[in-house]
Amino acid sequence: MSSPKLSIEKASEDATTESPRQRPTVTFWLVIASLCLIAFTTSLNSSIIAITLPHISSSLQISDDYVYPMIISAYIFAIGSGIAGNAHNTATIIAGRMVQGLGSGGIMLLMELIICDMVPLRERGKYLGIVLSTAALGSIVGPVVGGALADRDWRWCFYLNLPICALVIPVQLLLLRIKHHATPWKDVLVRVDWIGNLIFIGSIISILLGLTFGGTVYQWSSWRVILPIVIGFVGWAGFHAYEYLIKDGNFRLARNPCLPPRILANRTSASAFYMIFVTSMLLQWVCFWWPVYFLAIRGTGLMQTGVDFMPFMFLLIPGSVVAGIILFKTGRYRRLYAIGFVLSILGPGLNTLLDRETPAGGWVMLKIVDALGHAFILLTTLPAILANLPEKDVAAVTRTYSFLQSFSYMWGIMIPVYLQALKVVWYGAMAFGASGLIAVAIEKHVPLRTELKTEYGLEEKKNVEKEDSSQEKVIVQEGT
C-alpha cells in the first residue's frame, strides 16, 4: 500500500504533466485592457507632440518585483504630463518631457515583461499583438488629435493623458497581482550590475553623440563625429567582455550580469535578436522616407502626406495581429520570418520605381508590401528568442529586446540620411533585408512551450487553492 506522502507527490506530478489549459479569466482580460490603454496613451502622446511641438515652441518662445515599477511608471508619466501641460517657460516644458520619458520608457519595457509572465511562450505573439497594436493605433490618430488640440489649446496635448492614467492606475493596483519573491533592498542593490551599466550607458551615449553631431553640427568626416562613435563601439565591446567575465555571478560587485552571455549563446536567440534589430531599423527607415517621397517628389502638403501614409499603418496593425495568431496556432516562426524578409527586400526594390507620376493605386500597393513585410516579424521574434531559454531569463531577454528596438530606430534614420539619394536609400534597405533572410537560414527551430512554467504570473484565486488542498486530502485518505 502506498504511503500518503507518495500519493501526494504522484498526484502533484500528474497535475504538472497533464494540467488542462486554463481559459483567460476576467481579471486577466482587465489587465490586458489596462496595458492596451496605457500603451495607446504613451504612443498617442509621442505622435501628438511630434506634430504640435512647433506650435508649443512658438507659444512658450523656446529656443535652440516590476508590478510596482509598472504602476510607478504610469504615475511618473501622469506627473510629467501635468508638469508639461502647466509649463510657462522652457525649463518647465523640458522637465515635464523628461519625466514623461522616464515613465513611458518604463511602461513599454514592463508591458512586454508582464505579458511574458502571464501567458505561455506560444501565446505571447497573440497578446503582444493585441497590446502593441493599440500603441500603433495611437501613432496613427496622434497627428490628427494633436492638430485639433493645438488649434484650441496645446496644453490639452498633455492634460489628455491624466484621465486615462486615472483609469489605468486603479485597475493595475487592484488586479495586477503578480507572484514575486520578497527581496530586501540591500540584496537588490547588491545584485545590480553597476559597473556593467555604467560602461554600457557611457558607450551608448558616446555613439549617440557622434551620430547626432554627424551631418548637422559637424561633417561626417570630422574627428568630433568619428572619435565618439569609435570610443562608443570600443566601450560596447568592452562591456560584453566584462559581462562574460562575471557570467557565473561570483564577482562580488555584480552577482547578476545585466546582459547574461547565455541569452546570446544559441543560434536561435542570437538570430532572432539580429532580426528584431534589422526589422525595427527598416520600419523606421520606411516610415521616415515614405513621407520624404510625398513631400519632396510629389510636392504634397504636410497634412496630405500624413493622410497618404495612413494605409501603411492600417495594414501594419492587423498584419501584426494576424502573424501573432498564426504563430499561436502553428508554433512555426521561421516561415513567418522568411516571408517577412522576402517582402522586406521586395518592397524597397519596388519603391525604386516610384516617381512623381506614379498613380495612387501604385504607391498604395507598394505600401502594402512594405507593411506586411514588417508585420510578419515585429511581434513574433520575442517568443523565438525565449524558445531555447529558461523562463528565468525573461527579464534579461525583454530588456535586451526593447533596447535593440529603440537603438535600431536611430540607425533607421541615420543610415538613410548618410546615403542621401532616395533610390540609394531603397537599395540600402534591400541589403539589410537580405541580411535578415540570412539570419532566418541560420536560425534553428525550437518548439514553443504551450504551458506557462514560471515562478511568477498572475496570482491564483484562493478558491482554486482550496480546491487543490481538498483534492490532496482525498488522496491522503485513500492512501491510508
Give the C-alpha distances (Å, rounded to integers) separating 285 from 292, 299, 313: 11, 20, 14
Answer yes or no: is pLDDT of 24 > 50: yes
User: Rounded distance, CA 250 to CA 241, Å?
Assistant: 15
User: Rounded distance, CA 148 to CA 150, Å?
Assistant: 6
Same domain, 445 and 299: yes
In a domain, 16, yes or no: no
Answer yes or no: is pLDDT of 56 > 80: no
- Domain span holding position 299: 276-449
Same domain, 171 and 290: no
Under the banding of pLDDT at 50, 70 and 90, the label for residue 438 is very high
In a domain, 269, yes or no: no
Same domain, 281 and 424: yes
pLDDT of residue 133: 67
Under the banding of pLDDT at 50, 70 and 90, the label for residue 308 is confident
Please name which of 95, 118, 42 lies closest in space to residue 73, comparing C-alpha atoms: 42
Under the banding of pLDDT at 50, 70 and 90, the label for residue 2 is very low
For residue 181, give the amino acid letter.
H
Would you state the cell numbers that stand for residue 35, as one nine-digit string? 496595458
In a domain, 339, yes or no: yes
Q: How is residue 421 annotated by DSSP?
A: S
Answer yes or no: is pLDDT of 154 > 60: yes
User: Rounded distance, CA 35 to CA 119, Å?
Assistant: 14
Residue 331 falls in which region: left (phi positive, over 0), alpha (psi -120 to 50) or beta = left
Would you state the cell numbers that stand for residue 17, as one nine-digit string? 504533466
- Decide which of 138, 157, 175 is a domain's last residue: 175
Domains held by the chain: number: 2
Q: What is the pLDDT of residues 458-478, one digit of tens each?
A: 665 544 444 444 444 444 444
Check the CA dihedral 49-51-57-63 and report its sign. Answer: positive
What's the CATH number where 109 sits?
1.20.1250.20
In a domain, 409, yes or no: yes
Q: For 15, what's the count of Cα atoms within 13 Å in the CB-facing half-sphere? A: 11
In a domain, 204, yes or no: no
Over residues 269-273, the mean pLDDT reads: 90
User: Rounded distance, CA 19 to CA 29, Å?
Assistant: 21
pLDDT-wise least confident of 50-54, 269-273, 424-428, 472-476? 472-476
Please name which of 418, 428, 162 lies closest in space to residue 278, comparing C-alpha atoms: 428
Q: What is the pLDDT of residues 62-106, one digit of tens each?
A: 444 555 666 676 767 777 777 776 777 777 777 777 777 777 766
Over residues 376-401, the mean pLDDT reads: 82
Under the banding of pLDDT at 50, 70 and 90, the label for residue 123 is confident
Q: Considering the chain, what is the average pLDDT of its residues? A: 75
Q: What is the pLDDT of residues 160-210, one digit of tens each?
A: 778 888 888 888 778 777 666 566 666 667 777 888 888 988 998 888 888
In a domain, 475, yes or no: no
Answer yes or no: is pLDDT of 157 > 70: yes
In a domain, 46, yes or no: yes
Stronger pLDDT, 424 or 475, i.e. the higher one: 424
For residue 177, give the amino acid letter.
R
Alpha-carbon radius of gyration of the chain:
25
- Residue 20 phi/psi, 5° resolution? -70, 155
In a domain, 199, yes or no: no
User: Rounded distance, CA 340 to CA 346, Å?
Assistant: 10
The overall longest dimension of the chain from CA atoms, in Å, is 87
- For every residue of 43-91, DSSP letters joined together read HHHHHHHHHHHHHHHHHHT----THHHHHHHHHHHHHHHHHHHT--SHH
Is this structure's pTM higher than 0.75?
A: no
- Decide which of 175, 190, 209 is a domain's last residue: 175
- Residue 295 phi/psi, 5° resolution? -75, -50
pLDDT of residue 400: 84
User: Rounded distance, CA 462 to CA 469, Å?
Assistant: 11
Is there a contact between 276 and 406 (Cβ–Cβ < 8 Å)?
Answer: no
Q: What is the pLDDT of residues 329-372, one digit of tens each?
A: 888 889 999 999 999 999 999 988 888 888 988 898 998 898 89
Residue identified by cell 500519493 is 7
